[in-house]
Amino acid sequence: MKVLRDQNNRMVNTEEINNKTNIDNDDVREKIKNLIKKKNYNLRDLSRNIKKNDAYLQQYLYRGTPKVLPEEYRYLLAKLLDVNVNELVPNWLKKISLQEEFFILRNIENKIDYINQISFSKELFLGLDFFDEKNLYYFQTYMSDCKITTIVDVSIKKFIRPDIYLLNDKKNYFLAIIELSKLSQNKLSVKPYFNNFSPFQINANFLNISGLILWQCSNIFSK
């Protein structure tokens, strides 16, 4: 049995804490199982509807992987099952959420639908240079082996410095590294972040910039 001290110097039984979190996690799983059974839903179809592979919910509910359903998929599943998303949140996670302050950011590709909202800890934003949180959105790019999440400041619609920007080509968003062209003073050099497109040179007035990337992280998919 492992015993530690918390930030208030109280003795903490880590085994007891782990047991409580596991019970909370299992309670949420049972609730989801009952809702699925009651509504006669298919696990494979539900997994696809939350944009995961066919076996995702089967593994989560019956194998415990992942241990906790990620927030964005929890919102989607709650909508599909027609329940309040808080019903699918473990009690231990609710307590942590109450102690920590969050920003709720919307998906730039769908700014109205609340399902496309995810929360970021305010501590994450301490080192970021932005004027108003209302100008911040998130954008996700899915690759074969990873998902890249970025925070975008949409108040910046023009090139201000060499950096990663979010571009919009006929409502198709993509990331690109933009810098001043070495060939012409009036043009910008645009290198798509991924190899979907070839690099190109363009007059700054013709480039449709949706925002500047402030923060970026990736989630590697397990094989």
24 domain residue, yes or no = yes
pLDDT tier, 114 (very low <50, low <70, confident <90, very high otherwise): low
Give the model confidence (pLDDT) of 67-112 as tens digits.
888 877 888 888 889 888 888 888 877 776 555 577 788 889 875 5
Same domain, 155 and 209: yes
209 domain residue, yes or no = yes
Give the model confidence (pLDDT) of 128-173 as tens digits.
888 888 999 999 888 777 788 899 999 999 999 999 999 988 888 9
Q: Is the peptide bond before 66 cis (omega within 30 degrees of 0)?
A: yes
For residue 50, the SS3 value is: coil
The winner for highest mean pLDDT among 4-8, 88-92, 213-217 is 213-217
Same domain, 127 and 81: no
104 domain residue, yes or no = no
185 domain residue, yes or no = yes
108 domain residue, yes or no = no
Same domain, 126 and 208: yes
29 domain residue, yes or no = yes
pLDDT at residue 222 in the model? 47
Q: What percent of the chain has pLDDT over 70?
A: 84
Same domain, 7 and 79: yes
Residues in CB range of 147: below 8 A, 6 or more apart: 140, 141, 218, 219, 221
pLDDT at residue 109 in the model? 86
**What's the pTM?**
0.58
Average pLDDT over residues 189-204: 86
pLDDT tier, 6 (very low <50, low <70, confident <90, very high otherwise): very low
Here the contacts of 45-52 (C-beta below 8 Å, separation 24 or greater) are: 46/77, 46/80, 49/76, 49/80, 50/76, 50/77, 50/80, 51/76
CATH code, domain carrying 178: 2.10.109.10
Q: What is the mean pLDDT of the chain?
A: 81
CATH code, domain carrying 71: 1.10.260.40
Same domain, 88 and 123: no
Same domain, 50 and 130: no
66 domain residue, yes or no = yes
Domain that includes residue 202, residue range? 118-220
Same domain, 125 and 56: no
Same domain, 83 and 149: no
What total of structural domains would you count in the chain?
A: 2
Average pLDDT over residues 169-190: 89
For residue 29, the SS3 value is: helix
Same domain, 37 and 71: yes
pLDDT at residue 164 in the model? 93
User: Looking at 54, 72, 99, which one is the last position of a domain?
Assistant: 99
Same domain, 136 and 83: no
Same domain, 164 and 202: yes
3-state helix, strand, coil in the chain (%, to 5): 35, 30, 35
Which residue in 213, 209, 217 sits closest to 129, CA to CA?
213
Same domain, 95 and 123: no
111 domain residue, yes or no = no
Contact 86, 28 (CB under 8 A): no
